[in-house]
Structure 1
Amino acid sequence: MLKESNVVKFVDKASVMRPAYYIGLDHRAQTVILGIRGTQSIHDLITDLASHGEEEIFNEGNAHFGTAQAARWFFHNEVQTLRKCLQENMGYGLRIVGHSLGGATASLLAMMLHKRSVELLGIPPEQVAAVGIATPPCVSKSLAVECAGYVTTLALQQYDVIPRMSAAALERLRDEILLLDWMNAFKEEENRTGLLDMVASTLQAISSVQEAARRYAIYAKLPTPQNPKNQIMEKDESSKSEATKTVKEHEELYSPGILYHLCGRASMKDQHGDSAAQGCSLWLVNRDARFSRIVLTGSMLSDHKCDSHYYALRDVLKSLPRSERRSPLPSVRDNTLNDK
């Protein structure tokens, strides 16, 4: 927890392609922190959904358009603030962190800064790192693997829907829904007819929500002399046909960096006030074996909450020797399964 006096900048209102954020100093860890908030406002939602047309990064792969634009905003607008903080606190490193949308933006920004950290920040590349909590798939596989040395992604449970959410995953989910024999599945429970209507609405929404988000993002941008309103409208019209293409044309996206999976349920108080016997463990997972499929469960949204991750990480830290508790993440130990 940072003291208020150690918060250098705090921006609590988001805009299109720019989440809310803060910049602070952790003197105990000798770290400058850029914390980027996850989805909270309609502007954040538009950034999440604006995946129409992946954006190339460093000519090495593709990235989710909305979060790439958000990362570029930070790159162009806050690098000087970060550099000043690092110059005033010699020997400090930079940690970019975020939850959900914030995690994706943090990871992409770290990729942009890593190779030019000496030039832009005055610190070596090994002092730049990003940690994303429940980061959605936002980069192609080549980028996800390339940044594993300095980007970490944490995902809670097996079924948090956001680390699984991508255009390709939505297409697979739609195919599963269309192929499922719903009437046979519900033949013993006749009170679920409303769910069938919901599924039909979901199928329709999947094909239209990204186009709505893209159009909103275009019109939300104010006209400038370099990009007058009529040019914006022309771009909108010229890209309408592309927006109708199936999501199967999108490249598969992955959560970036090294991927850790928080398994189990965080310890809670039972009805007698005693701690429950449950707890969480941390696993290193293979990105190809997990999170490629959306699984509909009762906990797929609650597993995404910040509080859920907080209590799960608290349990993991309690199980570690004190000497390891200050590290960014615990090392892979004997009770941690590689490539689960």
Structure 2
Amino acid sequence: MSLACCIPVAEGVYCIACARWLWLKFLYNAGHESENWSLATTEEFEPIPRYCRLILSVYEDDLRNPLWAPPGGYGINPDWVLLRKDYEETLGRVSPYMIYLDHDHGDVVLGVRGLNLAKESDYAVLLDNKLGQTKFCGGYVHNGLLKAAVWIFESECEVLRELVEKNPGYTLTFVGHSLGAGVVSLLTIVALQKQDRLGNIERKRIRCFAIAPPRCMSLNLAVRYADVINSVVLQDDFLPRTTTALEDVFKSLVCLPCLLCVMCVKDTCTMEEKMLKDPRRLYAPGRLYHIVERKPFRIGRFPPVVKTAVPVDKRFEHLVLSCNATSDHAIIWIERESQKALDG
């Protein structure tokens, strides 16, 4: 067969593959992932809005005169903020964070903010990774996020140890959003591996809440630490579903059609069983909480429902073609909808 005949055949096969991919994508919605999950209880989901507001407060320069506080304020006591570090103090190794001693809830909290679109150092953390680059604790993790987590631990472990020892009944909680969610997820594993440096605090007193996290650890780690690490995802949020290398995502700002073509062929030709068998593949960490507030082919938002599970398959495997895929990543929306779910 001549080359002139092969080209139309190849084009036809490619078009059929793309059409199949688009058909499957348009039929796929966020509700498919969690439709068989259990409903989260009020007790286990109660801290989420509070931790969202605490993370939001990290964005403020002056907590006594906040600029972006939601109605009712952040609900935190500025006198209980023990430590805050900005980009100058973190040397660009990680985004800003703070340590908060919550006497009302018996909690020592370390909160890390999300990606700053204007900071090159945040992009450097996210892009510092290749598939299978870093083995850790019997699995694979995101290289840049692990380095940021280790930097925080080495910087603050003495402070955290002192707080834990002075407040023996308090929990130690790591919380973060987006980039910060990936950092605190791996920081939690580091802390569990080095409990002696935190005064041998019991595992049951350590918790992590990753709000809209990136895919940062292999499946075996995600399941093994599900009793400690919790991920919160609002409806169609793109980041926990982004399997494409983040470097390629940023390159797509220059050539989006190229990325879509690659994703199209990859999603069409790769069997889900093969994806699950790859030990290097990264996933959203821990136990998953999925806030569902929209229904297929229905207009508008509905009273949010929170589903939870520790799934092996359907762990936010596919991107959802939705106009809300980016807005659902915003922590202000996650805070509002999680509070609605709690009130409802």
- TM range, normalised to the smaller chain? 0.5 to 0.7
* 2:96 counterpart of 1:20: yes
- Identify if the C-alpha distance between structure 1 residues 200 and 108 changes in structure 2 by more than 3 Å, giving closer, same or farther: same
- Identify if the C-alpha distance between structure 1 residues 250 and 51 changes in structure 2 by more than 3 Å, giving closer, same or farther: farther
* 2:137 counterpart of 1:55: no
Match of 2:165 among 87, 93, 97: 87
Structure 2 residue matching 1:167: 3-state secondary structure = coil
CA distance in 2, matches of 1:299, 1:277: 11
Match of 2:219 among 100, 122, 141: 141
Count matched residues.
244
CA distance in 2, matches of 1:171, 1:78: 33
Identify the residue that residue 106 of structure 1 maps to in structure 2. 184
Match of 2:320 among 284, 292, 295: 295
Identify the residue that residue 32 of structure 2 maps to in structure 1. none
CA distance in 1, matches of 2:301, 2:128: 42
| Structure 2 counterpart of 1:21, one-letter code | Y
Deviation (angstroms), 1:22: 0.2
Residues 178 and 211 of structure 2 are in contact (CA less than 8 Å); yes or no, is this contact kept in structure 1? yes
CA distance in 2, matches of 1:263, 1:95: 25
- Identify if the C-alpha distance between structure 1 residues 121 and 166 changes in structure 2 by more than 3 Å, giving closer, same or farther: farther
Amino-acid identity (%): 30
Deviation (angstroms), 1:149: 0.7
Match of 2:306 among 282, 293, 297: 282
CA distance in 2, matches of 1:171, 1:5: 43
Deviation (angstroms), 1:88: 2.4
| Structure 1 counterpart of 2:287, one-letter code | I
Identify the residue that residue 237 of structure 2 maps to in structure 1. 160
For structure 2, the 5+ residue unaligned runs are 1-74, 264-277, 295-299
TM-score (norm 2): 0.64
Residues 177 and 213 of structure 2 are in contact (CA less than 8 Å); yes or no, is this contact kept in structure 1? yes
Residues 164 and 292 of structure 1 are in contact (CA less than 8 Å); yes or no, is this contact kept in structure 2? yes
Match of 1:125 among 196, 203, 207: 203
Identify the residue that residue 312 of structure 1 maps to in structure 2. 337
Match of 1:11 among 78, 85, 96: 85
Residues 168 and 250 of structure 1 are in contact (CA less than 8 Å); yes or no, is this contact kept in structure 2? no
* Residue deviations 1:128-177 (CA, integer Å, cap 9, x gap): 110000111100111001100100001000x21111123369999x9xx9
* 2:91 counterpart of 1:67: no
Residues 170 and 294 of structure 1 are in contact (CA less than 8 Å); yes or no, is this contact kept in structure 2? no
Residues 169 and 294 of structure 1 are in contact (CA less than 8 Å); yes or no, is this contact kept in structure 2? no
* Residue deviations 1:175-232 (CA, integer Å, cap 9, x gap): xx9xxxxxxxxxxxxxxxxx9x9533546999xxxxxxxxxxxxxxxxxxxxxxxxxx
- Identify if the C-alpha distance between structure 1 residues 287 and 168 changes in structure 2 by more than 3 Å, giving closer, same or farther: farther
Which piece of structure 1 moves more, 146-155 or 117-126? 117-126
Identify the residue that residue 260 of structure 1 maps to in structure 2. 289
CA distance in 1, matches of 2:201, 2:246: 38
CA distance in 2, matches of 1:146, 1:22: 27
CA distance in 2, matches of 1:303, 1:138: 19
Residues 95 and 128 of structure 1 are in contact (CA less than 8 Å); yes or no, is this contact kept in structure 2? yes
Residues 168 and 251 of structure 1 are in contact (CA less than 8 Å); yes or no, is this contact kept in structure 2? no
Identify the residue that residue 268 of structure 2 maps to in structure 1. none
* Residue deviations 1:216-268 (CA, integer Å, cap 9, x gap): xxxxxxxxxxxxxxxxxxxxxxxxxxxxxxxxx99211111101100006xxx
| Structure 2 counterpart of 1:110, one-letter code | T
- Identify if the C-alpha distance between structure 1 residues 118 and 92 changes in structure 2 by more than 3 Å, giving closer, same or farther: farther
For structure 1, the 5+ residue unaligned runs are 178-194, 207-248, 266-275, 320-340
CA distance in 2, matches of 1:31, 1:124: 14
CA distance in 2, matches of 1:70, 1:170: 18
Match of 1:199 among 251, 256, 265: 256
Deviation (angstroms), 1:67: 0.5
Deviation (angstroms), 1:86: 1.6
Identify the residue that residue 230 of structure 1 maps to in structure 2. none
Residues 67 and 138 of structure 1 are in contact (CA less than 8 Å); yes or no, is this contact kept in structure 2? yes
Identify the residue that residue 31 of structure 2 maps to in structure 1. none
TM-score (norm 1): 0.65
Structure 2 residue matching 1:112: 3-state secondary structure = helix
CA distance in 1, matches of 2:301, 2:223: 36
- Identify if the C-alpha distance between structure 1 residues 304 and 287 changes in structure 2 by more than 3 Å, giving closer, same or farther: farther
Kindly report the root-mean-square deviation, in angstroms, between the aligned alpha carbons of the 2 structures: 3.0
Deviation (angstroms), 1:312: 1.0
Residues 95 and 130 of structure 1 are in contact (CA less than 8 Å); yes or no, is this contact kept in structure 2? yes
Identify the residue that residue 42 of structure 1 maps to in structure 2. 120
Deviation (angstroms), 1:287: 4.8
Deviation (angstroms), 1:12: 2.6
Residues 134 and 153 of structure 1 are in contact (CA less than 8 Å); yes or no, is this contact kept in structure 2? yes
Residues 293 and 301 of structure 2 are in contact (CA less than 8 Å); yes or no, is this contact kept in structure 1? no
Residues 218 and 279 of structure 2 are in contact (CA less than 8 Å); yes or no, is this contact kept in structure 1? no
